[in-house]
Structure 1
Amino acid sequence: MNIRGRALITSLALAWLSHAVVAQQITVAAAADLQSAMQDLVARFEKQTNKTVKVIYGSSGNFFQQIQNGAPFDMFFSANVDYPKQLESAGLTMPGTYYQYARGKIVVWVPKDSKIDLSTGLKALLDPNVRKIAIANPLHAPYGQAALSAMKKEGVYEEAKDKFVLGESISQTASFILSGSADIAVMALSLALSPNMKDGGQYVVIPADEYPPINQACVVLSSSKDKALAQRFLSYIKGPEAARVLTAFGFDVSGRDQK
């Protein structure tokens, strides 16, 4: 074989290897409330499979719009079920991959040195020490919508609404309270249990009957460049180990379909 032929074979082999390496990674768009849990889940999955899962965290509503506009994600983990269902109806997901993986919970959170009394639950929002209240933007964040529903049911919304500081995602909401930009926050239990918050504050869980269920679902997107790996990660999420991890980070996994 001449030198030119060998060079051609070498270049083709390198191209194939490059493609194979790229194909061993998926990119996941995940709701911000999942950050601590997802880091644990991904670490376990990568150790077991020697594959790579890159995760980008943000607002479910923003991701929904980006996916509609062609964002190159392989999977979408939403903090609600509506966005994945709409993507499924639009033909933007792999058939049969819609899966409700957990249900979120909300809490009222204050820093450890706060003088605000949390024993009254959501009525703590009316404490005279409260000047600013951090919540996720209810226009597109499921946790913000849940916070508003709970406030209205408790009869504190009208008095509290002018004090809102709106985060674009539930993680930005957490950053507001951590930075001192707000005195109190209504946020995800999963974030209250995260390493950077659980030792720095105190919280009270809002009863689940005070707001509509924060059912959360995921899908494999039809634009995925490695559908096999995405579906493999989905299978892992459906399994018992993932259920235990999600539970440890404050999610309710009761009633989910573990296939």
Structure 2
Amino acid sequence: MNKVNRTYGLSLLWLLLLGACGNTPDEHQDKDKPVAITIAVAANMQFAMEALTETFTQMSGIRCETAISSSGKLTAQIKEGAPFDLFISADMKYPREIFKSGLAVASPKVYAYGKLVLWSMKEGINPTLDLLPDDQIRHIAIANPKVAPYGVAAVETLKNHQLLDKVADKLVYGESIAQTNQFIITGSTEAGFTAMSVVLSPQMEGKGKWIAIGEADYPPIEQGVVVIKREDGPMAEAEKFYDFLASEEARAILESFGYGVDDNM
């Protein structure tokens, strides 16, 4: 199989969305102001996390900062000592890896189930799996399956529909769902696989055309969270956010972005 791996080198490891949960700290403000927590966030959760952190701050008064990237790259950064207090992953594999490395307070738990979609911003294209081998589809964006769980789901979907060999030369790999989305949004690709949470976000809702991929076409995307061990870190505040993810308020937000939740979370 002649597979063209065009993994673009744009790094999103340290995209800090400061102030996503409250205002940027001011050195002249009251020293008793609650300490901020820093959350490593898988790229599929970027938009949902904005809503979650806003609600969390309103309820707790605790400020948040977020770093957005692929789950695999965030895992590497955590192992290298990056100052994260929580890790919001796109799967359970990477949080388990963090836990087995002795870097997490407790074993990971599932906070949501992700869903995959096929999305196009190109005029005149109605994206379907059957259309992907067609000549009008020259490039297909997917997240790099080596570091991004949604990329794994996309590859499994193509395999299950006997399409992977037919479209291998069309695949364009983003380093995360965020970069994959850029390929789709800018029209660099005619179509691409992304998270349902992206197309349902206020920022992207109603843009382009998309279809949901059947959940039987890929393994369940169990998205996990762990609290990171960090000396002198804001552990109590981090655990409050960890608990918040199981609250009714958080579950309602996650569902509004297309994530699945259940009573066992």
Question: TM-score, normalization: structure 1?
Answer: 0.87
Q: Alignment partner for residue 169 of structure 1, among 163, 173, 176? A: 176
Match of 2:218 in 1: 211
Unaligned runs of 5+ in 1: 1-13
Contact persistence 2:126–2:210 (CA under 8 A):
no
Deviation, structure 1 residue 199: 2.1
Deviation, structure 1 residue 154: 0.5
Residue 31, structure 1, aligned to residue 42, structure 2: yes
Residue 160, structure 1, aligned to residue 133, structure 2: no
Contact persistence 1:75–1:219 (CA under 8 A):
yes
SS, match of residue 245 in structure 2: helix
The structure that is helix-richer by fraction is 1
Residue 233, structure 1, aligned to residue 244, structure 2: no
Deviation, structure 1 residue 114: 2.8
After superposition, the C-alpha distances for 1:113-160 in whole angstroms (9 at most, x for unaligned) are: 532333xx3222123210110110111100001000000000111111
Q: Alignment partner for residue 89 of structure 1, among 72, 97, 100? A: 100
Contact persistence 1:27–1:74 (CA under 8 A):
yes
Task: Give the distance between the partners of 1:153 and 1:95, measured in 2 at CA.
Answer: 35
After superposition, the C-alpha distances for 1:184-233 in whole angstroms (9 at most, x for unaligned) are: 01111111112332222111100000001111000000116010000011
Contact persistence 2:88–2:225 (CA under 8 A):
yes
Identity %: 37
Match of 1:58 in 2: 69
Unaligned runs of 5+ in 2: 1-26
Contact persistence 2:199–2:207 (CA under 8 A):
no
Letter in structure 2 aligned against 1:241:
E
Larger Rg computed on CA atoms: 1
Task: Give the distance between the partners of 1:57 and 1:158, measured in 2 at CA.
Answer: 32
Q: Alignment partner for residue 198 of structure 1, among 187, 192, 205? A: 205
Match of 1:244 in 2: 252
SS, match of residue 180 in structure 1: coil
Match of 2:117 in 1: 107
Deviation, structure 1 residue 255: 4.9
Report the number of matched residues: 236
- Kindly report the root-mean-square deviation, in angstroms, between the aligned alpha carbons of the 2 structures: 1.6
Match of 2:16 in 1: none
Residue 117, structure 1, aligned to residue 126, structure 2: yes
SS, match of residue 123 in structure 1: coil
